[in-house]
Structure 1
Amino acid sequence: MGRQYLKEVTSLPGLKAASSVDVPAIVREVIESIRGDGDAAVRKYSEKFDKWSPPSFKLSQADIDAAIANCPKQTLDDIKEVQQNVRAFAEAQKGSLKDFEVEIRPGVHLGQKNVPIDHVGAYIPGGRYPLLASAHMTILTAKVAGVKNVTGCTPPINGKIPFSTVAAMHLAGADEIFLLGGVQAVAAMAIGTETIQKVDFLAGPGNAFVAEGKRQLFGEVGIDLFAGPTEILILADQSADVFTVATDLISQAEHGPDTPAVLITTCAELGRKTIETVNRLLTASDLSTGSVAKTSWDAFGEVIIVDTMDELWELGNQYASEHVQVFTRTPRDALERMTNYGALFLGEKTCVSYGDKVIGTNHVLPTRTTSRYTGGLWVGKYLKTCTYQEVTSDQASGDLGRLCGRAARAENFEAHARSGDLRANKYKKDQIKWIEKSQKTTSSL
Structure 2
Amino acid sequence: MSQPLKRAVAPETAADLSQVRETVSQIIADVRSRGDEAVREYSGKFDGWQPEEFRLGPEDIERIIAEVDDRVIEDIRFVQRQVRTFAQHQRDSLTDIEVETLPGVHLGQRHIPVSASGAYVPGGRYPLTASAHMTIVTAKVAGVPRVAACTPPIRGEVPKATIAAMHLAGADEIYLLGGVQAVAALAMGTETIGRVDMLAGPGNAYVAEAKRQLFGEVGIDLFAGPTEILVIADETADPFVVAVDLLSQAEHGPDSPAVLITTSEQLGREVLAHIEEILPGMPTRDMAGPAWRDHGEIHVVADTDAAFALADTFASEHVEVLTAEPRKALDAMRDYGALFLGEGTCVSYGDKVIGTNHVLPTRGAARYTGGLWVGKFLKTVTYQEVTDRASSALLGEICGRASRVELFEGHARSGDVRAAKYGSAELTWSKERW
For Structure 1 versus Structure 2, the TM-score category normalised by the shorter chain is over 0.9
SS at match of 1:331: coil
TM-superposition CA deviations, 1:255-292 (whole Å, max 9, x none): 111100000001000111101101110112xx321221
Structure 1 segment 214-363 matched on structure 2, within 5 A: 214-284=211-281, 287-363=282-358
Aligned to 2:371: 376
Moved more, 306-315 or 382-391: 306-315
Q: How many residues align?
A: 433
Aligned to 2:432: 439
Structure 1 segment 27-66 matched on structure 2, within 5 A: 27-66=24-63
TM-superposition CA deviations, 1:54-104 (whole Å, max 9, x none): 111110111110111010000000000000000000000001101010001
* Distance in structure 2 (CA, Å) of the matches to 1:385 and 1:178: 30
* Distance in structure 2 (CA, Å) of the matches to 1:100 and 1:262: 43
Compute the displacement of 1:21 (Å).
7.0
TM-superposition CA deviations, 1:362-414 (whole Å, max 9, x none): 00000001000000000000000000010011111111111111111111111
* Distance in structure 2 (CA, Å) of the matches to 1:82 and 1:163: 17
The answer to whether residue 407 in structure 2 is matched with residue 412 in structure 1 is: yes
Aligned to 1:184: 181
SS at match of 1:225: coil
The answer to whether residue 148 in structure 2 is matched with residue 155 in structure 1 is: no
Compute the displacement of 1:20 (Å).
7.1
Amino acid at match of 2:327: R
The answer to whether residue 125 in structure 2 is matched with residue 128 in structure 1 is: yes
Q: After TM superposition, what 4+ stretches of structure 1 lie above 3 angstroms from structure 2?
A: 18-21
TM-superposition CA deviations, 1:302-354 (whole Å, max 9, x none): 11111222211110000000000000100000000010000000000000000
Aligned to 1:76: 73
SS at match of 1:94: helix
SS at match of 1:35: helix
SS at match of 1:385: strand
The answer to whether residue 64 in structure 2 is matched with residue 67 in structure 1 is: yes
Amino acid at match of 1:350: T
TM-score, length-scaled by structure 1: 0.95
2:420 pairs with 394, 417, 425, which one? 425
* Distance in structure 1 (CA, Å) of the matches to 2:78 and 2:400: 59
Amino acid at match of 1:60: G
* Distance in structure 2 (CA, Å) of the matches to 1:321 and 1:329: 21
* Distance in structure 2 (CA, Å) of the matches to 1:406 and 1:279: 72
SS at match of 2:344: coil
The answer to whether residue 395 in structure 2 is matched with residue 400 in structure 1 is: yes
Aligned to 2:7: 8
* Distance in structure 2 (CA, Å) of the matches to 1:425 and 1:431: 7
1:137 pairs with 111, 134, 139, which one? 134
User: Structure 2: any 5+ residue segments left out of the alignment?
Assistant: none
Q: 1:21 to 1:418 in 2, by over 3 A?
A: closer
The two structures, once aligned, show a CA RMSD in angstroms of 1.6
TM-superposition CA deviations, 1:118-146 (whole Å, max 9, x none): 00010000001110100000000000000
Percentage of identical aligned residues: 59
TM-score, length-scaled by structure 2: 0.97
Amino acid at match of 1:22: Q
